[in-house]
Structure formats: structure tokens, C-alpha cells
Structure 1
Amino acid sequence: MNGSMYSASKVLDIKLKRGPAGLGFNIVGGLDQQYVMNDSGIYVAKIKEDGAAALDGRLQEGDKILAINGHKLENLSHNAAVELFRSAGEDVQLRIQQRLPMPMNGPSSSKPDGESPVSSLGLLAATLGVAAILALLYMRFQPLLKRH
């Protein structure tokens, strides 16, 4: 993974109101804990269900946070960035760079990745059913086969 996936992405300003559980997301990255190779930026790692960020709906996992309340997050350690978030107050203005969707290879499908049209469990059940019928037929007709 490298920083190039963010080069042509959209920059967005988002205002969040801190809730009882904070802003409702976790961050990764920083000078000392690079999340993206050759990029010391701060990224959204996880959006917490029913948190301020999830209720707003614009911030997504993988987005790069460029600034908080006007303070740029360039060249900060992870702990320094966390401290900026903790001391940001109740109304927090974020400038984020949205991650670009990853390009797809091959045909597109309406099904999520890894989900085939026929479920593995269904295929297994059908195979076991056919094997059981064949075994039953073999046992039923085995005496007739021995006569000839």
C-alpha cells in the first residue's frame, strides 16, 4: 500500500459534535506508526457503530485526516495526534481526504467479494445427497450385478 491511492481523491470538511463516547472512530498512523508506506499521515481505522462519525455518515474507514480544528496532522507522532483529538473540544472540524475505491479486476457482480452464487454449504449438501443415493442404489442392485 502506498500514498498514491490518495493523490486524486476528494478533500472534504466535516463538522462533528463530540458525543458521550467521543467522536466515534479510531485512528492509526503517524510518524512513528506509519499505516501507509512512505506516508506518516493519520487515517481512520474504525468507525464505531452509533458514534458521532457513524451518525454523520461521511467519514469512512481508510480516510486520511488532514487537519483537526485547523491544526494540520502532518509530521506528528501517533500520540501527538491522539492528544489533538482529545483536546479538540465538543465541536470538531475535520478536513479529510477520502480514500478512493480500489479498482476492480474482472467482471463486476452485485454480490460481495468471496460470495459465490452457490453457497458452499448447499454444494456440500447436494454432493452428500448424490453420494448417498449412489450408495443406496449400489447396495440395492449389487446382488443383481453379481448374477450376470
Structure 2
Amino acid sequence: MNGSLHSSDNMVDIKLRRGPAGLGFNIVGGVDQQYVVNDSGIYVSKIKEDGAAALDGRLQEGDKILAINGVTLEDRTHKAAVELFRTAGEDVELRVLKKLSRHMNGPTGPQAEHRPSMSHLGILTALAGAAAIFAYFYMQHSRKHF
């Protein structure tokens, strides 16, 4: 798969039964939007609370999904992979490569999701608000009363 070596210790087959909210996880990646540098594979980006994957407990954020119901996900676009998941039926078998240390293009794991972050626009908005408050108090203080 994309030129990397896989140990069978890191590869698992996971059977999930689709619940009311689907399989209970989100995916990223594909040949059109690589998530891992130099790897066009499909990866688990989020496990949804109380979903089928969370209740099973074996699938984790950052795991690479190699196949679904025996159909390989190698060299597929993100949209094509999503369509395979949508049409997979109620009982779904995943072949998964468990997460290893990799250089990711985006965050993975619980600590990455809970790390506070602000966009540049958010920072500029906060600075503009602070400047407006400062200007208001400065004007109030420097105003001469008659």
C-alpha cells in the first residue's frame, strides 16, 4: 500500500453493524486529498460517541482503512471511498492498519481535537475589541468636565 511495509500485528479485521447513525466515524484522505504526506490512503478522522465504532472500541482515530467488505480503498478518491461506505450494507467488515507514528497533514487523536486554537480572524477581532475598549476608557479619562 503506497510503498510502505505493514506488519500483520498492526493489521486487524473489524466487523461493525451499522446503527441508526451509520458506522459512527468520519474519514479523510484519498488520492485527491492526501491526509498523510505521500500516502493517498483513507484514514479515520473522528469516532462519534455512541456510534457503532465507539461501542466496538477497536477502531481509533488515525487508523488507516485498507478495505471495506473486501474491496480495497487504495488509489481511490475521497468521494469514491465515501460511496463505498454508504453502499456497504448493514454488516460491514473493515481491514484496518492500526495507527503508527506518521507525519500527518492534519490533527489526529483526542489531544489534537481538544487543543485550543484561534484563527487569524479571531485574533484580529479580539485585538480590535481590546483597542476599542482602551480607546473608550482613554477618551472618558481625558475628557474635560465643565
Indicate whether the TM-score tops 0.5.
yes
Match of 1:54 in 2: 54
Aligned to 1:66: 66
* Alignment root-mean-square deviation, CA: 1.9
1:85-100 matches, cutoff 5 A: 85-100=85-100
SS in structure 2 of the partner of residue 26 of structure 1: strand
1:1-148 pair list within 5 angstroms:
7-8=6-7, 10-100=10-100
Q: How far apart, in 2, do the equivalents of 1:73 and 1:100 lie?
A: 19
> 2: CA distance between counterparts of 1:19 and 1:35?
27
Measured in 2, the distance between the counterparts of 1:98 and 1:44 equals 10
**Shift of the alpha carbon at 1:16?**
0.0
Residues 77-124 of structure 1: CA deviation (Å, up to 9, x unaligned):
00000000000000000000001268xxxxxxxxx9xxxxxxxxxxxx
**How many pairs are equivalent?**
100
Separation (CA, whole Å) in 2 of partners of 1:79 and 1:50 = 25
Paired AA for residue 17 in structure 1: R
Where 1:55 maps in the other structure, the secondary structure is helix
Relative to the length of structure 1, the TM-score reads: 0.63
* Larger radius of gyration between Structure 1 and Structure 2: 1
- Which residue does 2:117 correspond to in 1? none
Deviation at 1:7, TM superposition (A): 4.3
Q: Specify the code of the residue in structure 2 equivalent to 1:97.
A: L
CA distance in 1, matches of 2:70, 2:77: 17
Q: Residues of 2 paired with 1:7 and 1:88: CA distance?
A: 25
Q: Percent identity?
A: 74
Task: Report what 1:135 is aligned to.
Answer: none
Return the TM-score normalized by structure 2.
0.64
Counterpart-to-counterpart distance in 2, 1:101 and 1:66? 17
Q: 2:89 and 2:33 mapped to 1: Cα distance?
A: 25
